[in-house]
């Protein structure tokens, strides 16, 4: 991937997920303080949070794959020769891409089904289908990231359990 393209990609996905997260925070704050202090909550805040959660998770997913931050066992790396690791990582990236493409197709179809019934959120009547199809699109993007990584020469750095 060329550097500019990578930069644009990171900025778009990052801004999308980051702002959605900021949105959840601000929304929760005003909703809770409104309810506790003025006994007046923001209508539909619950379902807005749900929609924003989808954006946070699936917007950041391509970045997690791009930066190789998924939890991986790398105990064998020390004993395997470098040429073998390269082939192995390439194949694994392709397998991940295949799985993600499958998931992307599945979510797109699910979204299309929901679109045909016209299902919306309960209070604000926001259509759900675009969000579910959006999950599919972002899974597809993540799959593309894995394909690019499968053919790039740079090896993955070790990463393990970054959040515990």
Partner 1 sequence: MTEALLGFLAIFVLALLRMPLAFSMGLVGIVGIGLTRGWMPAMASAAQVVHETGFAYTLSVIPLFILMGNFVARAGLAHELFHAAYTFIGHRKGGLAHATIAACAGFGAICGSSIATAATMSKVAYPSIAAGGTLGIMIPPSTILVIYGIITETHIGKLFAAGVLPGILTALLLMLAVVVMTWQDPEHAPAGEKFSWAERFKAIQGIWGVLLLVVLVLGGIYGGFFTATEGAGMGATGAFLFALARKALNWEVLLEVLVESARTTAMLFTLLIAATIFANFVNYTSLPFELKDWITGLGLSPIMIVAAMMLIYVLLGTVMEELTMVLLTIPLFFPIVVQLGFDPVWFGVLIVMVIQIGLISPPVGMNLFVLNTLLPQVGLSNIFKGVWPMVLVLVITLGILLAFPSISLWLPSMMD
Question: Of all helices (H) and strands (E), which one includes residue 153?
Answer: none
69/76 Cα distance (integer angstroms) = 18
Residue 92 sits in the site that holds partner 1 (CB under 8 A):
yes
Number of residues that bind partner 1 (CB under 8 A): 62
Query: What are the structure tokens assigned to 30, written together?
Result: 């005003």
Per CB under 8 A, the list member of 8, 15, 43, 86 interacting with partner 1 is 15
Q: Is 120 helix (H, G, I), strand (E, B) or coil?
A: strand
- β-partners of residue 127 are 120
Q: Is 152 helix (H, G, I), strand (E, B) or coil?
A: coil
Residue 86 sits in the site that holds partner 1 (CB under 8 A):
no
Site string (65-84) toward partner 1, x via CB under 8 A: --x-xxxxxxxxx-------
Per CB under 8 A, the list member of 1, 8, 12, 22 interacting with partner 1 is 22
Per CB under 8 A, the list member of 3, 36, 81, 153 interacting with partner 1 is 36
């Amino acid at each position: 991937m060329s550097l500019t393209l990578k930069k644009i990609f990171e900025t778009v996905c990052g801004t999308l997920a980051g702002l959605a997260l900021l949105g959840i925070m601000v929304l929760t704050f005003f909703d809770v303080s409104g309810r506790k202090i003025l006994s007046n909550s923001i209508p539909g805040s619950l379902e807005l949070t749900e929609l924003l959660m989808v954006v946070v998770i699936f917007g950041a997913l391509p970045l997690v794959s791009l930066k190789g931050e998924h939890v991986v066992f790398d105990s064998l790396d020390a004993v395997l020769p470098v040429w073998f690791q390269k082939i192995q990582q390439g194949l694994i990236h392709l397998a991940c891409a295949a799985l993600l493409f499958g998931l992307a197709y599945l979510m797109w179809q699910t979204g299309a089904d929901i679109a045909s019934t016209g299902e919306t959120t309960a209070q604000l009547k926001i259509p759900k289908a675009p969000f579910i199809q959006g999950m599919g699109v972002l899974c597809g993007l993540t799959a593309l990231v894995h394909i690019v990584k499968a053919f790039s020469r740079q090896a993955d750095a070790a990463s393990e359990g970054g959040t515990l």
